[in-house]
Amino acid sequence: MKHLMKSSASGFFKIIITGLVIAAMPQMLFADDIPEKNWALQLINSLSLETKDTISPASLERPLVFENVFILWPDRDMDGLDDAMETSLAEIVRPIFIFDSNETALEKDEPLTLFQVRPVDLSGPDSMSVRIRWVLLFRNTGGYGPCSALCGGSHKGDIKVITYEMVSKDKGITWETGEISLGEKENLIWKNGFDRISSKASHSLIFISSGRHNPYFSPALDGMKSPYSLFGCCDNADGKGAVTLPGIKNSGEPEAHPEPDFINSLAPFFPGYSAWGAGNFFSLWAGKISGKWLKNKIIPRDASLCSIESFNSPGNFIRHKRFMGEVMKIISARDRLDARFRIIPAASGKGMVKIESVNYPGYFLADKDGRLSLIKPGSEEGKSAAVFKMEKGLKGKNTVSFISTTVKKSYVRERDGHLFVESGRGRLFKKETSFRITSPQ
C-alpha cells in the first residue's frame, strides 16, 4: 500500500498487514491510492478475517458497571456505567467500514462516528446487557448507485444508524455481541449463533453502499433490491472501495452529556451542528442527530447489593455462619449466598449504615457482646448495635472500616477468621479492620 490517509477523528488503533504493524490515528484508505483494482479484497484477506456465526468477545480491564456505590469511577452521563470503560468497549468492538467502489459522496474525514453505550438491564451480576448505538455522519448523500441511478435520492447531510446488543455474564468484564441491527427500522439483523458474519477479532465488517451509505453485512446484496428502499431501488455495495476503522466520539446520554467528557458541538468536523441540537443535520431529509439516540428505560443495578472482602486476607469474604460473623473463602453456592449483603444508609446520620443479609432479609450484622453476629433487631439497644459508621479504611486503597456506634473507638475486626467489635492500635489492627466492598460473589 502506498499511502495512508489520516482522519481528523480521535482515538488510536492498529492494523496488522502481512506482519507489519502500523500504529496511527484512525485512518481511511482510498481506492485511488492503490493501483490494483482488487486492493480492498487483498487488504481484507491480509487482515486474517473470520467468517462465522459469532464475534470474538471484548474484555475490559475493569467492570463496565460499577461494582459498588462507594468507590466510583467517573459517571458524568449518569447511566450507571464507568465512562472510561464505555469508550474502551466501543473501541474494542467498533465496526470496520468497507465502501463500494462506485462511492462518490465520501469525504476523507468521514464517516464521523459517534456512539452511545446505553444500559438495558444491569440488575444481575451474571446477566447484564447494554446497547451501543453508532451514528454515522456524512456531509452528503450521493443518491443510489449505478444499479438504480434513476432513483436519485441525493441531498445534503446523511445520518446512518447501527445498533449492537451486548451481554455480559461475568459482572461486566467480558462482553459478547448478541445482536447487530442495521438501520433505524432494523432493516437487517444479525443474531449471534444463527447468522454468519465477517469479523476481525471483535470488529465486525459492515459494507456501506454507494451514495446512500446504507449498511450491509456482506456484498451479497450488491446490485439487488434494497431493504432500505420503499420504491424497489437497488444498492451497490461491492466491498471494493475505501476501508476504514473509524475514530469514535462518546455522545453521553439524553439525561446528561457534559462537555468536554462527551461530544456536543461537532466543530471542527461539521461547524454549526451539534450531537444534541434541535435542528436538522444540513437538511430536513437528513433529520436531527439528537433524534437518533437511544432512550430505552434502564433496569438499574441493585447498588446496595455487595460482598465485603477482607483486606488482611485477600480472597476471603465476610459471611454469616450459624448466625456468627466469619471471614472465609467462597467455595459453595451456600457460601456465596451467606456472603451477600445490602449496605443500607441508616437514618442516624451521615456515613451511618446497616449491613443486611440477603438470604435472611431483616437480619443484620451487629455487635453482640463484642462478637459480630447476625441478629434480627428488636429492642432499641439491638437496633443501635446494628448501626456502624462506614469511613475510609484504616489501611489500603479503596477500603472501608466499620466503626461501632455503641462502643467508643471500636471497629469491626477480623481475627483468626472470626469477626469481633473491639478497639486496638498498630499496623496489624489497621489491616484487620479494613475491608473492600466488591460486587456480589
Domain spans of the chain, in order of start? 5-292, 305-438
Backbone angles phi, psi at 274, to 5 degrees: -135, 150
What type of residue is 209?
S
Q: Using pLDDT thresholds of 50, 70 and 90, give the confidence band for residue 124.
A: confident
Calpha distance 315→420 (Å, rounded):
19
Calpha distance 440→196 (Å, rounded):
36
**Proportion of the chain above pLDDT 90, given as a percent:** 60
Calpha distance 87→115 (Å, rounded):
9
Q: What mean pLDDT is predicted for residues 415-424?
A: 95
433 to 128, 247, 350: CA distances (angstroms): 33, 47, 20
- Mean pLDDT is highest, among 24-28, 203-207, 378-382, for 203-207
Q: By three-state DSSP, how is residue 438 classified?
A: strand
- Residues with Cβ within 8 Å of 411's Cβ and at least 6 positions away in sequence, in order, are 394, 401, 402, 403, 404, 421, 422, 423, 424, 433
- Mean pLDDT is highest, among 27-41, 119-133, 400-414, for 400-414
**What architecture is the 305-438 domain classified under in CATH?**
Trefoil (2.80)
What type of residue is 50?
E
**52 within 8 A of 196, measured Cβ to Cβ:** yes
Q: What integer pLDDT is reported at residue 26 of this predicted model?
A: 34
Q: What mean pLDDT is predicted for residues 120-125?
A: 81
Higher-confidence residue: 52 or 436?
Answer: 436
Dihedral angle, C-alpha 291, 293, 295, 299, nearest 10 °? 180
Calpha distance 284→170 (Å, rounded):
44
Instruction: Tell me: pLDDT of 210 over 90.
Output: yes
Q: Which three cell numbers stand for residue 415?
A: 481475627
Backbone angles phi, psi at 418, to 5 degrees: -115, 165
**228 within 8 A of 183, measured Cβ to Cβ:** yes
Q: What integer pLDDT is reported at residue 32 of this predicted model?
A: 35
Whether the model pTM is above 0.75: no
What type of residue is 325?
G
DSSP-assigned states of every residue in 207-248? EE-TTT--EESSGGGTTSB-TT-SS--B----S-S-EE---E
Instruction: Tell me: pLDDT of 203 over 50.
Output: yes
Higher-confidence residue: 364 or 67?
Answer: 364
CA-wise closest residue to 26 among 94, 78, 76:
94
Calpha distance 352→434 (Å, rounded):
17
Calpha distance 83→76 (Å, rounded):
7
191 bridge partner residues: 179
Higher-confidence residue: 92 or 14?
Answer: 92
Higher-confidence residue: 14 or 378?
Answer: 378
Q: By three-state DSSP, how is residue 160 classified?
A: strand
Q: Using pLDDT thresholds of 50, 70 and 90, give the confidence band for residue 76.
A: confident
Instruction: Tell me: pLDDT of 23 over 50.
Output: no
Q: What is the pLDDT of residues 278-294, one digit of tens each?
A: 999 999 999 999 999 99
Dihedral sign of CA atoms 236, 240, 241, 244 in order = positive
293 bridge partner residues: none
Q: What integer pLDDT is reported at residue 156 of this predicted model?
A: 95
CA angle 417, 418, 422 (to 5 degrees): 125
Instruction: Tell me: pLDDT of 46 over 70.
Output: no
Q: What mean pLDDT is predicted for residues 331-355?
A: 88
Q: What integer pLDDT is reported at residue 200 of this predicted model?
A: 86
Q: What integer pLDDT is reported at residue 348 of this predicted model?
A: 76
What type of residue is 322?
R
Q: What integer pLDDT is reported at residue 127 of this predicted model?
A: 80
Instruction: Tell me: pLDDT of 39 over 90.
Output: no
**Taking all residues of the chain, what is their mean pLDDT, rounded to a whole number?**
84
